[in-house]
Structure 1
Amino acid sequence: MAALLHRAHRHCQLADSTNRRRSVPSPPCHPRDAILRPVGLCRGRTRNSHAGAHSGMDAVRMLMAPKTRLEREKGKLVDDINFGYCNAQRKINMGYFLLAPRATNAAGDGHHSVTDRMVLAASQWTRDLHDEIYVFDNQSWNKDAKLYLDVESSSWDDGVLDPAMKRTLIRDVQGSFDNRGLYQSLKVPWKRGVIFHGVPGNGKTISLKAPINSLSKREDPIPSLYVKSFDGCRGAKWSIQSIFEHARNMAPCLLVFEDLNSLVEDECRSYFLNEVDGLESNDGILMIGSTNHLDRLDSAIRKRPSRFDRKYHFKVPSLAERLEYCLYWRRKFAESETIEFPDGICHPIAAMTEGFSFAYLKELFVPSLLALARGESGEAGDGPDTAEAGTMPSDRSSVSDSVLVGKPDSGQKDSTDRAEKASTADKTDGAAGAPNSQETKPVLPGVEIPGSVKDNVLLKIITKQAEMLLDEMDNTE
């Protein structure tokens, strides 16, 4: 054994030690350095063998990676000597171990240059992302290629947002990584944090996917780190520490916290704030946190600019945004020979969908286009039985020559209906679950329909689908 060790590690000296009932400690293994562990000198396993940090290995050739990607270095190869053999004889533990210098300048002694280049290349490959996204879940980081495929086709063009808000958001994301020199010249930390908030279904998710995709396609690709959960047996504080340690190593990077208010709970809030804005540098990290309920976020998170600098409110789309969304779908079928989607139906659709979120607008178009492809006409009784699906179109909505009739007869009638509903509710107080026959079903607003498109099949199908969705929205409130 001694001769074999000496040939493999000529820069080391072999010594033995006699210790009464003591085992030989092994040098610690640092997770940051353990990028690749090629097989080193392997010792036989016996019940008296000392189990070190590298189980079964006495010497490991490994990459000592740079502290962060910002250093623009490849790292160095070092030997981590981890040898100890204990043999108990007559109540005396005989410990044999190898003494090795810990200085890194001895790393090249006794090793082949070709092997070293292979270890360097393989280690760098495992460190980088290759059409992947780092995902933190179950208290560990894993590369997720499937999630990358899900966002690969996403772009800023897919998000129908207020033009001024979209320009500011893109400038915020791209500018965070383009202006490192400017941050340094101003002597301010090179980091950024933004919060996306608003009711569900209005563009927060696509506005998370778009920057992940665009940053990965840069000339200097920016990796994305996505946090799913803090949960695990080690506790939330351990998770937060691991998340920010990895983010600092991967900087410059994008760090995403989806549903931030459910992640940061009371018991870990102060620890999270210290990692976000504490003594340790977060240079090169752009944090994006999303939430459906901004008011549920602690004021120390939502109101302090040095932690999350900007807040973007994703509102229910306006008429102009709904019109742009209709045009977005029309452009998809501009060259289609099977789907007639004239420009003239876009404004009526946008007008009749007041109060619809982008999620409901998508649900309006996708089934309608599928129904058109199946040959449905949009007439009453055509298509699947809506009663079976738990929805019932309004009896008063239909397409006429010039007007989509779907509004109350008058303001007086509307007021009367509301009064009747209140009166009926009073009478049935205490009879929980009793049906209220006096309640009026929600109806689409009245919309002018150009004569040139009054017979358009897609418009009829969309109108029918909009009535069903409107009733569904009312039932879920």
Structure 2
Amino acid sequence: MPATKTLLTSTQENSAAIFSDFKSHCDAPRVDTKTNILALLRNAYPDYHVTEVEERRVSLFEFAGAGKAMLILDAEDEGFNSTREWKAVGSGIEKKKHPGTLKDDFRFARFQCVWEDKEYLVYYVSWEDMIKPPYKMFYILHARSSSAMTTGHCAESDALILAAGKWTSQLHEEIFVFDNGNWSKSKELWKSVKSASWSDVILSPAMKQSLIEDVQGFFDNQAIYAGFAVPWKRGLILHGVPGNGKTVSIKALMSSLYSRTDTIPSLYVKSFETNCNTKQYAIRQIFQAARKQAPCLLIFEDLDSLVNDDIRSYFLNEVDGLESNDGILMIGSTNHLDKLDPAIAKRPSRFDRKYHFKIPGEEERRLYAQYWRNKLVENGTVEFPEELAVVVAQLTEGFSFAYLKELFVMTLLGLVRGFKDDDSQIVDKEEAASADDKSADMTAISTEADEKETNKDSEVCTCATKCSTCNKPLPPPPSSSSSSTETQKKQEEDAEATKEAKKNKMVMPTVDIPEHLADNLLLKVIKHQIRILHSEMDNTKEDAWPSGKKAKQGETRRRS
């Protein structure tokens, strides 16, 4: 490998004025910064070929960071411009203890690049634009004396660009994320996805198997699509009330596709919003990237909030694709299927299949309790008999998976904080209070029925309007005061509100507890936490949540 910095030292004189000239350019009105930089470099290095590339497509920083090449900063005479940044290292407690690390966010810098025993000079330059995202450019210089020129381009520079460009286009323990009009690679999201597994997803076995086969089968059967001359594209919608497994299922899908021998990349769309361009531009960028990465998984989370009336037609044009969308499997998730445009939700060949993530039934709740039992038994944390999973499933009617998770987390924290056998008095008092509430409700119902029966017997006719003796009209009855009427109305409204609140209040089901579990500490804590969670929940039926989106009268016909 060539000696380090020799190339930088030998070209120091050439580089001396470039930064000051670039600074002068930035301080004054300018028309084309790219052209200006190219002119500066070519004038300063007449014996070198200069090639310009965008960092987002050819990231020499990533390439060198992965050990594929070496970049040596020219730090002489402070001939670079950067912001020094502190970055945390590690996670959790480790992050708090570690002093962190420092890195440079360069705006102007010169490097010596060494790749496959070849030497290059590399300039990195970034600048702001008033109406576009920031420009971030690499300028690769290679000596003409040792360059093989092909149609005006340097073969050695092109070889480096091809290698670094290929590396940049691929995922390396990362996931593509689209936000604020740009694609970026997220290692944090990848770490979250990597730990996801189908064993952590509790769904009905039939639905889970169908979803897995639908996704894996799509990527396994390109030849079948081609054989029947059917476009190799597909769309799925995952819908249902929040907290029932849509997101964790998407993560499990992403993880399983990443683990294939033919790794399938995932592209995750956060938003169509962008500071510098329109949403149509963002949609265009999303589908262009998906076509380049295909076969791939393209994810639109909360699809109903992403696609509104203003961009619906443009989005559908990209989905329908005059351009080929072969190899793209789209997944859209929504908590509000009724708010999703029918042209998306009810049109096969766009989103072909819908999976409904319902409030878990008793069997799913038992499986989820068993999932936690396996964790706790493995760690020897607490006594968790197998029969207790059945009891927990019966006690948690109406719980979503999110609330079930919260129940177990709160229970474990309660045990860690020292919920002991003596604290079982709390549970006993709660159960006694619950029994009193039920008794009071039954008494109130009985009293109300008695009052109705009494009133029924005492009802009298009030329809007479004339005196039976003189046949003259009767005087009007004394009018009650308006304040009395308002008070009565207010009382009726309060009573109705109280009645509705009681109706929507979650109540723990009556469950026959096996005798040998009656004094189980874990069960006592679980019942205590269930009552706490009930105060935050309501029992609105799933088919009544959320309210539907009704079409307005005179609404323009939508594309179907």
Q: Deviations over 1:10-48 (max 9, x none)?
A: xxxxxxxxxxxxxxxxxxxxxxxxxxxxx9xx8966769
Cα 1:50–1:451 change in 2 (3 A) is: closer
> Which amino acid in structure 1 is aligned with residue 321 of structure 2?
G
> Which amino acid in structure 2 is aligned with residue 352 of structure 1?
L
Equivalent residue number for residue 60 of structure 1? 51
Cα 1:417–1:138 change in 2 (3 A) is: farther
TM-score w.r.t. the length of structure 2 is 0.61
Whether the 8 Å CA contact 1:407–1:445 is kept in 2: the answer is no
Equivalent residue number for residue 511 of structure 2? 447
| Secondary structure at 2:203 match in 1 | coil
Residue 222 (str. 1) matches residue 264 (str. 2): yes
Cα 1:243–1:112 change in 2 (3 A) is: closer
Residue 154 (str. 1) matches residue 188 (str. 2): no
Aligned length: 381
Q: Deviations over 1:400-445 (max 9, x none)?
A: xxxxx7994699669669989xxx9976245699978995864311
**Separation in 1, partners of 2:501, 2:223:** 67
Matching of residues 94-113 of structure 1 within 5 Å: 107=150, 111=154, 113=156
**Separation in 1, partners of 2:208, 2:199:** 10
Cα 1:406–1:314 change in 2 (3 A) is: farther
**Separation in 1, partners of 2:500, 2:329:** 54
Please, which of 276, 282, 291 is the counterpart of residue 248 of structure 1?
Answer: 291
> Which amino acid in structure 1 is aligned with residue 377 of structure 2?
A
Please, which of 428, 432, 444 is the counterpart of residue 491 of structure 2?
Answer: 428
**Separation in 1, partners of 2:512, 2:378:** 27
Equivalent residue number for residue 304 of structure 1? 347
Whether the 8 Å CA contact 2:506–2:539 is kept in 1: the answer is no
TM-score w.r.t. the length of structure 1 is 0.71
TM-superposed deviation, 1:292? 0.4
RMSD, matched Cα: 3.8
Please, which of 20, 29, 32 is the counterpart of residue 51 of structure 1?
Answer: 32
Cα 1:155–1:464 change in 2 (3 A) is: same
Equivalent residue number for residue 285 of structure 1? 328
TM-superposed deviation, 1:243? 0.7
- Give the percent of matched residue pairs that are identical in Structure 1 and Structure 2: 50
Residue 342 (str. 1) matches residue 406 (str. 2): no
Equivalent residue number for residue 160 of structure 2? 118
TM-superposed deviation, 1:216? 1.1
**Separation in 2, partners of 1:264, 1:276:** 12
> Which amino acid in structure 1 is aligned with residue 37 of structure 2?
G
> Which amino acid in structure 1 is aligned with residue 51 of structure 2?
V
Whether the 8 Å CA contact 1:247–1:255 is kept in 2: the answer is yes
Task: Provide structure 1 residue ranges, at least 5 long, that are not aligned to the other structure.
Answer: 1-38, 66-104, 386-391, 398-404
TM-superposed deviation, 1:473? 0.6
**Separation in 2, partners of 1:425, 1:358:** 43
Cα 1:354–1:406 change in 2 (3 A) is: farther
Whether the 8 Å CA contact 1:159–1:206 is kept in 2: the answer is yes
**Separation in 1, partners of 2:449, 2:417:** 43
Q: Deviations over 1:126-150 (max 9, x none)?
A: 1111111111111111111111111
Please, which of 315, 322, 342 is the counterpart of residue 272 of structure 1?
Answer: 315
Q: Deviations over 1:306-349 (max 9, x none)?
A: 10000000000001000000111111122333311111211111
**Separation in 2, partners of 1:261, 1:378:** 49
Q: Deviations over 1:132-180 (max 9, x none)?
A: 1111111111111111111110011111001100000000111111111
Q: Deviations over 1:358-392 (max 9, x none)?
A: 01100110110122233313655879x9xxxxxx9
> Which amino acid in structure 2 is aligned with residue 345 of structure 1?
L
**Separation in 2, partners of 1:293, 1:413:** 40
Equivalent residue number for residue 363 of structure 1? 406
> Which amino acid in structure 1 is aligned with residue 537 of structure 2?
M
Task: Provide structure 2 residue ranges, at least 5 long, that are not aligned to the other structure.
Answer: 1-14, 40-49, 58-147, 451-486, 546-560
Please, which of 167, 174, 178 is the counterpart of residue 216 of structure 2?
Answer: 174
**Separation in 2, partners of 1:305, 1:224:** 23
Whether the 8 Å CA contact 2:506–2:537 is kept in 1: the answer is no
> Which amino acid in structure 1 is aligned with residue 323 of structure 2?
E
Cα 1:279–1:393 change in 2 (3 A) is: farther
